[in-house]
Amino acid sequence: MTYRGENRTIQADEVGFLVGAELYQPNPPITLEDSLDELELLADTAGITVAGRATQNLKQIDPATYIGSGKVQEIHTEILNLGANVVIFDDELSPRHQRELEKVFGENVKVLDRSVLILDIFAQHANTREGALQVELAQLEYRLPRLTRQWTHLARQAGGGGGRSGNGGVGLRGPGETQLEVDRREIGHKIGKLKEEIESVRAHRGRHRAQRSKLGVPVIALVGYTNAGKSTLLNALTGSTVYAADQLFATLDPTTRKLSLPGGKSALISDTVGFIQKLPTTLIAAFRATLEEVVEADILVHVVDASHHNAEYQIEAVEDTLAQIEVPKIPRLLVLNKMDQLSSVPSFKTAENYDAVVPVSAIKGTGLKQLLSEIERIMIENMVEIKVTLPYKRLDLLNQIRENGVIDEEEPLEQGVKVRAHVPQRMAARFHNDDE
């Protein structure tokens, strides 16, 4: 079953107008125009044709309209001239901003912000049950405090698939209760149900991870800014055919493949959802079950589009998100992708935080041998020593040590085989338990 396109806010062929505001700060990490360029890419991915844009420098955010009433009227005139029916703000709007702007622009113009746009793209690209659950939860949690008469139809749209429609408003309204209050309660009920279902998904993933951990196979997580080329790199390293496209958030659902390393060892490598600046907090929270793949990995491979003029900022944006989801201090490798578009290897100040930096071109296949060698080197360097005597009836465990670790000494005894070896951390814990 496919879930692509469920719970979308945006309709095809809508005409958009972008609005960016900049509070004064010395040496901003990214220019307002660059941020709006990225917003335009997001709009294009969502199916919106952008007709124009406006910017505003602010000393402080206007409490009513975000950018001030004069600028709002100026934009209103501009969108009428351009025939735009969607106004998209580059920053997240408060519920009050949303309401006041909708009053000015009228009921025929949608007022969206970057968060809604990203959520809509995720809804469009949610191809699995898990992805659909996570996106719907994020959408509802975002919409709940912003619910107005214009948004009430969304409560009835959301949850339409997979038997999650919940109870309708008929027969639920108490004395003096408005339709808005009923809709808020209904959305609250759906949020609770979705959290239960996602918790079930989380438990299922946990069981899978526990099984992998029992086998002791190292896990590598690919992370990076959206459109950095993670899926293309996964395909190049493993020979798989994961969907990859030159667009933002082409793939959402985590994909795990077996990775063969030069010395004959193997690992599991997982592609994860791409990150982006100003990623909605509701989305990070909803995708926590998926992002646990990152939290519990043995090695992080951070893929960056080295050809992008804001590559340094994109690296920092990913690192900020990793800190937000509390990724522990584990070995990290920085992959400078798309080197086929550059004449020399760029240097980034953040590179000093990584165990290795490897330039590659995933699409051309260059640099992949060096990348695999570095992954294997980091894996071996972070192995821990075990000393264990394995009974002859458990020689399958000896084979696991050979496959995933390095045997330093092996001595046959009457009661079994005495082994001194270096193995991945997750495997070491298991053999410690077995030895007891």
- CATH code, 265: 3.40.50.300
**Element (DSSP H or E) covering residue 32:** helix 32-46
Percent of the chain with pLDDT over 90: 43
Token pair for 198: 């996602």
Domain final position from 343, 365, 381: 381
Lowest mean per-residue pLDDT among 9-23, 127-141, 211-225: 211-225
Dihedrals phi, psi of 277, to nearest 5 degrees: -65, 150
What pLDDT sits at residue 309?
92
Q: Is residue 229 part of a domain?
A: yes
Decide which of 167, 202, 237 is a domain's last residue: 202
Cβ–Cβ under 8 Å, residues 55 and 21:
yes
Q: Residue 252 has what pLDDT?
A: 63
Rounded to an integer, the average pLDDT of 395-418 is 87
What proportion of the chain, given as a percentage, has pLDDT over 70?
83
Spatial separation of the C-alpha atoms in residues 436 and 434, rounded to whole Å: 5
Structure tokens belonging to residue 203: 């438990």
Do 96 and 33 belong together in one domain? Answer: yes
State whether 90 and 166 are in the same domain: no
Rounded-to-integer distance, Cα 114 and Cα 125, Å:
17
Residue 4: inside a domain: no
How many Å apart are CA 318 and CA 145, to the nearest integer? 28
Do residues 39 and 114 touch, judged by C-beta distance below 8 A?
yes
pLDDT, mean of residues 226-233: 91
276 exposed, middle or buried (CB, 10 Å; 0-12, 13-18, 19+)?
Answer: buried
* 338 or 255, greater pLDDT: 338
Return the higher-pLDDT residue of 17 and 138: 17
The answer to whether position 410 is within a domain reads yes
Query: Which has more confidence, 157 or 422?
Result: 422
pLDDT tens per residue across span 355-387: 999 999 999 999 999 999 999 999 888 888 999
* pLDDT mean over 50-72: 94
Is residue 26 predicted with pLDDT exceeding 60?
Answer: yes
Would you say 162 and 136 are in contact if contact means Cβ atoms under 8 Å apart?
A: no
Dihedral sign for Cα atoms in the order 108, 113, 116, 118: positive
Query: Are 160 and 293 part of one and the same domain?
Result: no
Residue 181, pLDDT score: 80
| Residue 96 shares a structural domain with residue 180 | no
Judged on CB neighbours under 10 Å (0-12, 13-18, 19+), 350 is middle
pLDDT > 90? residue 301: yes
* pLDDT band at residue 308 under the 50/70/90 scheme: very high
Q: Average pLDDT of 209-225?
A: 78
What mean pLDDT is reported for the chain? 83
Residues 314 and 241 placed together within one structural domain of the fold: yes
State how far the alpha carbon of 397 is from the alpha carbons of 219, 232, 384, in Å: 19, 35, 16
Please, what sign has the CA dihedral across residues 386, 391, 392, 394? negative
**Rounded CA separation 351/312 (Å):** 9
Secondary element (H or E) of residue 306: none
Please tell me the predicted confidence (pLDDT) of residue 76: 96
Range of the domain at 85: 14-121
Among 202, 237, 263, the domain-final residue is: 202
Q: Could you tell me if 34 and 156 lie in one domain?
A: no
Helical segments of 241-287, H only: 281-286
Is 209 a domain residue? no
Q: Do 337 and 251 share a domain, yes or no?
A: yes
Residue with tokens 């077995």, as numbered in its chain:
434
Is the pLDDT confidence value at 165 over 50? no
pLDDT at 84: 95
Residues 341 and 405 in one domain: no
Residues 187 and 320 in one domain: no
In 3D space, the residue among 102, 189, 146 whose CA is nearest the CA of residue 282 turns out to be 146
Question: Which region among 4-18, 49-63, 249-263 has the lowest average model confidence (pLDDT)?
Answer: 4-18
- What is the domain count for the chain? 4
As a whole number of angstroms, the distance between CA 96 and CA 63 comes to 8
Q: Residue 153 — very low, low, confident or very high, per pLDDT cuts 50/70/90? A: very low
> Does the pLDDT value for residue 2 go beyond 80?
no
Same domain, 55 and 164: no
* Joined tokens for residue 419: 């082994």
Residue of 179 and 95 predicted with greater confidence: 95
Structural domain contains residue 5: no
What average pLDDT score do residues 230-246 get?
83
59 - beta bridge partners? none
Domain assignment present for 421: yes
User: Looking at the predicted structure, is the pLDDT value of residue 261 above 80?
Assistant: yes
How far apart are alpha carbons 62 and 352 in whole angstroms? 40
Confidence of residue 303 (pLDDT cuts 50, 70, 90): very high
Per-residue pLDDT band for 12 (boundaries 50, 70, 90) equals: low
The strand pair at 406-412 and 110-113 is best described as unpaired
Residues 333 and 300 sit within 8 Å (Cβ to Cβ): yes
The domain that holds 117 is classified in CATH as 3.40.50.11060
pLDDT at position 329, please? 86
Return the higher-pLDDT residue of 26 and 313: 313
| pLDDT tens per residue across span 28-50 | 778 999 999 999 999 998 899 99
Closest by CA to 363, choosing from 301, 307, 300, is 307
Query: What is the DSSP track for 202-248?
Result: HHHHHHHHHHHHHHT--EEEEEEBTTSSHHHHHHHHH-------SST
pLDDT for 177-212, tens place per residue?
577 788 888 888 999 999 998 888 778 777 776 666
Structure confidence at residue 7 as a pLDDT band (50, 70, 90):
low
pLDDT, residue 253, reads: 65
Residues 267 and 327 in one domain: yes
Q: What is the mean pLDDT of residues 245-274?
A: 79
Q: Are residues 354 and 391 in the same domain?
A: no
- On the 0-12 / 13-18 / 19+ scale of CB atoms within 10 A, 304 is buried
Question: Is residue 430 a part of any domain in this protein?
Answer: yes
CA 6 to chain centre: 19
Continuous H helices in 296-362: 311-324
The two tokens of residue 392 are 């002859």
Is 69 or 326 the better-scoring residue by pLDDT?
69
Cα atoms in the Cβ-side hemisphere of radius 13 Å centred on 157 = 15
In a domain, 96, yes or no: yes
Q: How far apart are CA 105 and CA 332, in angstroms?
A: 48
